[in-house]
Structure formats: structure tokens, C-alpha cells
A and B are shown apart, each in its own frame.
Chain A
Amino acid sequence: MELKPLLITNARLIDGDTPRPGSLLVAGGRIAAIDPTDIPDGTETVDAKGQWLAPGIIDLGVFATDKPAFHFGGITRAALMPDAGPLDDPGLVERAAKGGKPDLWVHPVAAATKGLAGKELAEIGLMKSAGARAVATGRTRIADAGVMRRVLAYAASLGLVTIIHAEDEGLTAGAVATDGEMATRLGLASAPAIAEAIAIARDLALVEETGAPVHFRQVTTARGLALVRAAKASGLPVTCGITPAHLFLSDTAIGDFRTFARLSPPLRSEDDRHACLAAVADGTIDILSSGHDPRGPEDKRLPFAEALPGMAGAETLLALGLNLVRDGHVALGRLFDMLSATPACVLGVNAGRLEPGKEADLILIDDGTPWQVDAKKMAAYAGNTPFDGMPVQGRATAMWKGGLRVR
């Protein structure tokens, strides 16, 4: 089916720090021109009525293909973590890659090791041919430094970035919270925050040796961020990300044993939270993602330590990201670098910016719409949001995937 050319007029384009009035032409599923002068015959026109026109969000690291949530959140591409499955086999990867058709791009992330057990290399090359866009260690790190070194070198030779979960398994064994007053008062097993920095330090040494590109999916502590900052300054191929939870919540959120605030890595101290905000502002943190991990009551309506970690984050990602702009932590252009452009680079996809030639994954955003996060009324298949009840502003109102209107 040949798509008709599409012209979005009367929009405010997000291709810099200030939304600017303009229009955008899509042809053949790609962005053909910004502020076009020649409009082909038969072009369909959409009046954006002054709303923001932005690249679709590329969510780097989700744990479920949850289309309603992604569509609500303006997410056009989701990089699916290998944990469900696990995605350690080309067949599974191929199936996962088709899981979004026709209205969502799913980019599977290959398991680094068989069964994510951290022992033997998985068939990374075959999985790449089957559609895998990156490699990941999953919800935990690879404990064995020898295995990790081989994974990094092997993935790098195939041109894939390795996505790392950075927590030392010895320090975090059995822990469900970060060491501190809150965990001690609640009587929860906790681990010191340095578990993150220790894991990052080891992997940075391996990166230095192998030259392999890595992405730390979530860096959430001052010490971890300092290591990443220094590594970037010395020119290592390192990026890191975070979710809104660690930017807007600290471990006080687990008070009353709220299992929706049980996350991995766990929520940190208020000092670490401020360090994360500073790292967003100074560019140390490259990517903002949702970590979308919907969990129903069977996983969450349990005693805190027995509940599974994770949050449904896809629907709140954009609105909470806009909070960062309103609070003055980042400029608007950089927010969309974190949400779209940089994840596109890590995954090696031709999208993530409003530029001619890019895939036409587009969203319209009404930046003024106020709404309230309500765990009981989420589009996601489970409403486990730690932001329940929070008033927020801004939401996606329309969405195109490769020029095809999906919302």
C-alpha cells in the first residue's frame, strides 16, 4: 500500500530548544522536507493547530510490548529487553521484532548470554540478522568478568552496543532497597549505593581495554555518575540513561511498603537524586527511558520483599520529561535528544530527529494539557506507577509511524 504524501501544517517544530512555527512534509514514509515550498498533488494535510511536532519517542529498554501504553505515551519505537523469553535465540528475536506490527517498531535487544545466565555467549550474530539492535545483560549484570569481556568484544565486532545493568551481585544479594534510614526503619534488607559504582568501575575498565561501546541503562548514584562522567571525558565510548523515577523520587517513596516504588536498581537517597538531576543538566546522562515493566497485582500486591521490582512508565515518560524542562534542568532540544535522537544512535536506526531523510515517526504534543496520573486508569496492562495521583502536564495527541497515522 502506497501512502499518500502527508503535510503537517501550522505546527511548532521541535528541532531545537525553542518550538518554532513551521510545517513538515512526509513522502514515502520518510521526512521529505521541513517547511516545504513544493507540495505534491494528492497530499493529505493535517492542521496541527499550533501543537508541537516532535520526533516519536524511542524508548530504550522496556520489558513488555505494551502497545496501548506506548501509543498513549507517544512512543513510536521500543527497544525490548531480552528478559522475557529470554531473547537468546534468533527465532525468538525475529518473533519479538514482529510483535509491534503494524503500528509500533519493536527493536529486540539480544541476550548477551544463553538464558541470560551469564555463562556462555548467546548467538549474537544470528540474533543481529534476525533483527536484534543491541545486546544486553538483562536485569542483572554478568558476574564473571571474563565472560563480560568476551561479550563486549564480540558484540563490538558485530557493531552492536552492549546495554548493561550495573549492580554488584555480592553487595545486592537479597536486598530490596538502598541502605539508609528508610530501609532500616522498615526492616528491609538493603544494599549500599556503591554497589552501582563498583559494577560500573569494572565494566569501564573492560571498555577501556576492548574499546567496545556500552550503554549503562540506568545510572542512579552520584558515584556511578562521576565514573561515567570521567570515562566520557577520557573519550571512552560510553553512554548512560535513567528513568524519571530516579529523578523525581527518592527512597522515602517506599514508606508504607509501597510496592509500586520497588524498582531495580532501588530508589536512592535524596542526595543521589539531586546528583542525577545535575547529571541530566550537565549532559552526563544521555538517555531518558521509561523502563516500562507492567506488573499486575499478582506481582505487586504482596509484602514488599516478595513483590517483583518494576514500574509501568511508558505513559508518564513524556510528561515527566517535560517537568525537567519546566524545572529548568534541561532545554527542550536536549530533552528530545534524550528521548529520541540519542536512543536512535545507540540502536542504529534512522529516526529520532526532524530531518529530511529520517523515518517519519512523528508525534503531536499538546504541551499544556493538564492531567493526573491514575494507577487505576492506565492504558498499560498494569497500573504499577509510583507516580499515582501526581498532576502532570503535556501529552501526545497524535502519532505517525513511518508516515502511517497510528493514533
Chain B
Amino acid sequence: MTTSTIRPASDYPPGGDAFRHRHLIGIAQLTPWEISYVLDAAEEWVDLNRAGAAKHNDKLAGLTIINAFFENSTRTLLSFEIAGKRLGADVVNMHAAQSSVKKGETLIDTAMTLNAMRADAMVIRHGSSGAVQLIADKVDCPVLNAGDGRHEHPTQALLDALTIRRRLGRVEGLTIAICGDVLHSRVARSNILALTLLGNEVRVVAPPTLTPPAIERMHVTTFTDMDEGLKDADVVMMLRLQNERMDGAYLPSAREYHALYGLTPKRLEKAKPDAIVMHPGPMNRGVEIDSSIADHPTRSTITEQVEMGVAVRMACLDILTRRQRGVAGWN
């Protein structure tokens, strides 16, 4: 495994100019250097997370972080919770299933309620595109988007970029194939934005029924033939296929999807010999990805992505709360 060099702090504008955002709503608002600033910051947290038993830093001690998840999630919620706790913050989780959202309270009212409890940061996931932006416009603290509808999932794109950078030594000039249900995927949208912004060739490989209209306007090339789409790729990024897409409306069946778009060892041969395979999880083994690839010790990055997820989220929470914490240069 190669590890890329972290840029020296002097490469970035001083203080808060290095990351000029109050919220993290999407990759669409970020510049390339802001992305690499977050990735560099995350590298430090990777080291801390690996440093044996005492994984604690008290940077955010005394701060309250609310994880408001209006859509079910296990791993993202857990990842944000661990990230907050490792930084010493008090982390509270709110699940929509247990909340007054079920009683008909509007999203804005829920947001105002959380705001009145004086959270220092909010991490929000919602099933509707644009919902996190709507909340961010109404509250006083930084808001981190943990996924809104099909729109964006910025921390996933950042952790994917970090994983690629650590595995391949760079995240520019690469050929990256994003494969699967791109139409319904916020992970795909954020990754397309981040990876094209950083100067990679991004391909979208998907059945025509799951390719978003006008996606080529996002500076990607589209493929419906998986073998062609994987040709000489450095990175193969698989997406999760939701079970409800396989009921005949978008796809005839799971077995047909596997036959045409499943990542098998034979198909992976089309990519570069050292190409890495990524998946945001949770996987449908035997549908979009074969187990032998998912568990491959050198080519699969799936567990490493989960590890990078915690580091990237620690970096984001740290950076976005610097203004409240009065860190020098951040005002």
C-alpha cells in the first residue's frame, strides 16, 4: 500500500480561507483544494484511529452534535457517532421512526426544535433531495449532509477519494468506472462531482433504465456494456442495487442484472491488473458483486472505505466547528 504525501499547511490559504463553508451540503459547493484540504486533515485522524487503545482526542469536548436521521441507516449513523465521540463531543442520535416526524410535524418545525436545543453541529440524512439544504438555511449551527434523497452524500465521496488516494497514491488522472444504479444514487452523484473535479476520467456504467438523463452533462462518458466500461479502469466503483428496483419496473430480475452488470472475476480482468474495487455498502453479494471479489485481500477496498469514513467525518466535524470553537484564523 502506498501512502500519498500530505501537503504542507503552507500550500493552503491561511485559517478559515482554506475551507470557506459554514455547512457541508454537497461536493457541488467545493473547490478541488478544499477537497484535498479535508483529505489531508483526515489522514491525521487515520493515524490516531490506528494508534492502539486510546483513540480519544478532546478537540470537540463540550460540543453537542445531533445526528438527525430521517431515513434508516446503520453504518453512516454509526460512523458519524464514532467520529463525534472520538473527538470528545456529546453525540445524540435522533431516529425519525421515534420522532414527532411520524406525528405529522413538518421538517422545518423539527429543525427549529433541534436548533432551539442549541446543537453545535447537526448531521442530517433525509429521503428527499434538497431537504438538508432546507434545514441548513434555517438553523444556526453547521449542518453536515449525511445523504439527501438522490442528491448528494458528500462524506461518502470524500472517504472514497481518500481511499483511492491512499491505495493508488493519487486521485487524479485515473480512469474510474462507477457501475450500477446511478439513477437513484446520491453516492454516484457526489462521487462524479468530486472525481471529475479532481481531474479523473469518470465513466458511468449502467443499464439504460438506471442511467440518469443528461448525465453526460456532468462530464462523464456513459456505457451500457459493462465489459467496455471497465476496460483499462484504475478504479471500479460498484453501487448498491436496491431490492425494489429488481421487481420488473427498472430491471427484469436479479439474475439478469448479475448476468449483465454483476462484477465477476472474469469481468474484472478487463480493468487494469492492479485496479481496485470499491463499494459503499451494504453489498448484495451475488447480485452486483461476487463474493470472491468483495473479499479479495488486495483489490477490494470495502473495509478500508469504512475505516476512512470515520476519519473523513472526524475531519469534517473538526473543520466545520472551528468557527464556534474560536480556532485562530477561523472567524
Contacts and interface: CB of A to CB of B under 8 A. Distances in A.
Contacts of A302: 106-108, 134
Given A180-B213, A301-B108, A303-B149, A188 B189 contact: no
B300 interface: no
Pick the 6 closest A-B CB pairs, nearest first: A257-B130, A187-B150, A187-B151, A303-B128, A179-B213, A181-B217
A70 interface: no
A184 B213 contact: yes
Interface residues of A, number: 21
Nearest to A182: B214
Given A302-B107, A303-B107, A306-B128, A187 B189 contact: yes
A41 interface: no
Contacts of A188: 129-130, 149-151
Given A298-B106, A301-B106, A302-B107, A180 B214 contact: yes
Given A303-B126, A304-B128, A306-B128, A187 B149 contact: yes
Contacts of A185: 28, 189, 217-218
Contacts of B129: 186-188, 257, 303-305
A302 B131 CA distance: 7
B133 interface: yes
A206 B327 CA distance: 71
Interface string A133-158: 00000000000000000000000000
Contact of B214 (A184, A189, A256, A257): A184
A50 to B, nearest CB: 46
A305 B148 CA distance: 12
Given A187-B189, A192-B213, A302-B106, 4 more contacts: A187-B151, A188-B130, A257-B130, A305-B149
Contact of A186 (B106, B126, B130): B130
Contacts, number: 69
A257 B134 contact: yes
B124 to A, nearest CB: 12
Give the one of B28, B106, B149, B152 with max A CB within 10 A: B149
Contact of B213 (A183, A187, A256, A304): A183
Interface in B104-121: 106-108
A184 B149 contact: no
B21 to A, nearest CB: 15
A190 B213 contact: yes
Contacts of A306: 128
A257 B129 CA distance: 8
B94 to A, nearest CB: 17
Contacts of B152: 187
B125 interface: no
B286 interface: no
A388 B242 CA distance: 40
Interface residues of B, number: 24
Contacts of B91: none
A53 B228 CA distance: 68
Interface string B254-298: 000000000000000000000000000000000000000000000
Contacts of A187: 129, 148-152, 186, 189
Interface in B144-177: 148-152
Given A192-B213, A304-B128, A184 B218 contact: yes
Give the one of A179, A183, A303, A305 with max B CB within 10 A: A303
A301 B189 CA distance: 25
A188 B128 CA distance: 9
Interface in A309-344: none
B215 interface: yes
Nearest to B214: A181
Contacts of B212: 184
A193 B149 CA distance: 23
A189 B28 CA distance: 19
B107 A179 contact: no
A179 B212 CA distance: 8
Nearest to A305: B128
Contacts of A190: 213
Interface string B132-149: 011000000000000011
Contacts of B131: 303
A188 B150 CA distance: 7
B107 A184 contact: no
A192 B212 CA distance: 11
A181 B149 contact: no
Contacts of A256: 133
Contacts of A304: 128-130
B2 to A, nearest CB: 34
7 contacts: A181-B217, A185-B189, A187-B129, A188-B151, A298-B106, A302-B106, A306-B128
Interface in B30-58: none
Nearest to B126: A303
A171 to B, nearest CB: 12
Interface string A277-313: 0000000000000000000001001111110000000
B218 A181 contact: yes
Interface in A91-134: none
A212 B108 CA distance: 48
Contacts of B106: 298, 301-302
Nearest to A254: B130
A76 to B, nearest CB: 37
Nearest to B149: A187
Nearest to A179: B213
Nearest to B193: A185
A175 to B, nearest CB: 11
A306 B212 CA distance: 20
A181 B220 CA distance: 12
Nearest to B134: A303
A189 B128 CA distance: 10
Contacts of B107: 302-303
B109 to A, nearest CB: 10
Contact of B133 (A183, A257, A298, A305): A257
Interface string A153-184: 00000000000000000000000000111011
A183 B212 CA distance: 9
Nearest to B132: A303
Nearest to A190: B213
B213 A186 contact: no
Give the one of A180, A185, A187 with max B CB within 10 A: A187
